[in-house]
Amino acid sequence: MDKHAVIIIGTGAIARIHIEAYKRFEQCRIVALCDLFVEKAEKMIEEMDIQGAAAYKDYKDALASVEDGIVSICLPPSLHAQVAIDALNAGNHVLVEKPMATSLQECDCMIEAAKKNGRMLSVVCQNRFKTPMMKMKQLLDSNTVGTIRYANVNSYWYRGQSYYDLWWRGTWEQECGGCTTSHATHHIDLMQWFIGMPTEVVAVTTNMVHTNSECEDLSMAIFRYPDKMAQLTATLLMHGEEQSMVFSGDAAKVSIPWSVQANKELENGFPTEDVLTKDSVQAYYDSLAELDLEGHPAQIRNFLRAINGQEALLVTGEEGRKTIELIMAIYKSSVIGSAVQLPLAKDDVFYTKEGLISQMPKFFEKKRSVENFTTQKITLGRDVGK
């Protein structure tokens, strides 16, 4: 089998994770890194010992150097759609970092480009490829805990004031959102993967302390389903970053990080522990297999196998679009002050990026801007599954 030529577009901190993942697989060879600051690409090639790779300033020059390759897009959100479409039209398969795009319109254009060119389009949702998440998905799908009636999702992160000094962060034009778009996208993806898409969203957003950001640093949303409700809190204010997801079903409650509780009612309606059900759910969970590979490497392996026709692609463009739709519904509800019905129509003002920008408040004025931080170190938050 010929090796897949891989192009990495954008050489910020997340690009290192993509590079490390691709280097695990012998069927891949990284041939190009692209960045507007080409010296960053050159430095990364040297530091990560990517033999034979070239550095480019213009991503279109890199695309022209490869036929039928793979492109990983590690750029600011506002650049995802156009670069992805250009890469797909050039005949490449595309893996794009979260969030997929800055509007539903952009998502639809990306999906259409993939279909037109017969190429794979996938969105990074690396948390799906972790053992606790995969086991929870199988558990919920098995109906072992009964019908889910309530879910509680806490997307807790901590980011300091200087986080928003980077030039593209904290603006509706470039980042197209705050903690809901940039951080809770992981939890929103997992929520809809676990329990599906809601029919209605009610939400509020605000910015409590990040004065160099136009966007929110705290949002709360309620999702209504025909047979259940879910609640999401997203914030960049939470010390400790103890993220969690809780699903309460008719038979038991299960959580990430993992725990299980089960009650049955006494004659007077008050609860007592249901040991048999709790032990049964625990036994089923314990019987599920551990993943042999997790995170970005596992998702990239699935991406490669899907390209080779060996297995189905777990995170398609259509799956990535669902998260963007929920984010836009959250923002719309926060503006209009009432419930938003799903799906959002193409003539909805929140279908386009321009519509989003026109409607959202600027909580603060962005006054400080740097091109790049002196260090590349990032933290990926507390592992929600552990």
In DSSP notation, 259-309 reads EEE-EEE-TTS-EEE-HHHHHHHHHHHHHSPPPSS-HHHHHHHHHHHHHTT
- In this structure, are 13 and 109 located in the same domain? yes
- In this structure, are 118 and 158 located in the same domain? no
Supply the pTM of this predicted model.
0.95
| pLDDT at residue 260 tops 60 | yes
Residue 182 falls within a domain, yes or no?
A: yes
Residue with tokens 């989003």: 356
User: Tokens standing for 365?
Assistant: 């004025």
CA dist 354 and 351 (Å) reads: 9
CA dist 39 and 56 (Å) reads: 9
Q: What is the pLDDT of residue 382?
A: 56
| pLDDT at residue 172 tops 80 | yes
Residue type at 232 in one-letter notation: L
H or E stretch covering 180: helix 179-182
Q: What is the pLDDT of residue 197?
A: 98
Here the contacts of 33-42 (C-beta below 8 Å, separation 24 or greater) are 33/7, 33/8, 34/7, 34/8, 34/9, 34/10, 34/58, 34/59, 34/62, 35/10, 35/11, 37/11, 37/371, 37/372, 40/11, 40/372, 41/11
Q: What is the pLDDT of residue 2?
A: 77
DSSP class of residue 55?
E
Residue type at 306 in one-letter notation: A
- In this structure, are 229 and 112 located in the same domain? no
- In this structure, are 196 and 235 located in the same domain? yes
- In this structure, are 275 and 299 located in the same domain? no
- In this structure, are 242 and 157 located in the same domain? yes
β-partners of residue 229 are 150, 224
Which is nearest to 78 in space by CA: 179, 170, 207?
A: 170
Around 132, how many Cα atoms within 13 Å sit in the side-chain half-sphere? 15
- In this structure, are 156 and 191 located in the same domain? yes
- In this structure, are 37 and 66 located in the same domain? yes
CA dist 209 and 236 (Å) reads: 9
Residue type at 318 in one-letter notation: E
∠ CA 65-71-77, nearest 5°, is 125
Q: Give the model's confidence band at 100: pLDDT under 50 very low, under 70 low, under 90 confident, else very high.
A: very high
Residue 385 falls within a domain, yes or no?
A: no
What would the mean pLDDT of 274-283 be, rounded to a whole number? Answer: 98
User: What phi and psi values does residue 11 have, to the nearest 5 degrees?
Assistant: -120, 40
Residue 366 falls within a domain, yes or no?
A: no
Which is nearest to 15 in space by CA: 136, 124, 168?
A: 124
Percent of the chain with pLDDT over 90: 94
- In this structure, are 122 and 211 located in the same domain? no
Residue 264 falls within a domain, yes or no?
A: yes
- In this structure, are 159 and 211 located in the same domain? yes
Domain coverage including residue 114: 4-126+295-315
CA dist 176 and 344 (Å) reads: 18
Range in 91-100, 344-353, 375-384 with the lowest mean pLDDT: 375-384
| pLDDT at residue 234 tops 70 | yes
Residue 386 falls within a domain, yes or no?
A: no
CATH of the domain at 259: 3.30.360.10
pLDDT in tens, 242-251: 999 999 999 9
Q: What is the pLDDT of residue 4?
A: 96
What would the mean pLDDT of 293-307 be, rounded to a whole number? Answer: 98
Residue 276 falls within a domain, yes or no?
A: yes
Which is nearest to 274 in space by CA: 265, 263, 266?
A: 263
Strands 229-235 and 218-224: antiparallel
Residue 281 falls within a domain, yes or no?
A: yes
Into how many domains does the chain fold? 2
Residue 371 falls within a domain, yes or no?
A: no
- In this structure, are 214 and 304 located in the same domain? no
CA dist 193 and 195 (Å) reads: 6
| pLDDT at residue 1 tops 60 | no
Q: Give the model's confidence band at 65: pLDDT under 50 very low, under 70 low, under 90 confident, else very high.
A: very high
Q: Give the model's confidence band at 385: pLDDT under 50 very low, under 70 low, under 90 confident, else very high.
A: low
- In this structure, are 132 and 101 located in the same domain? no
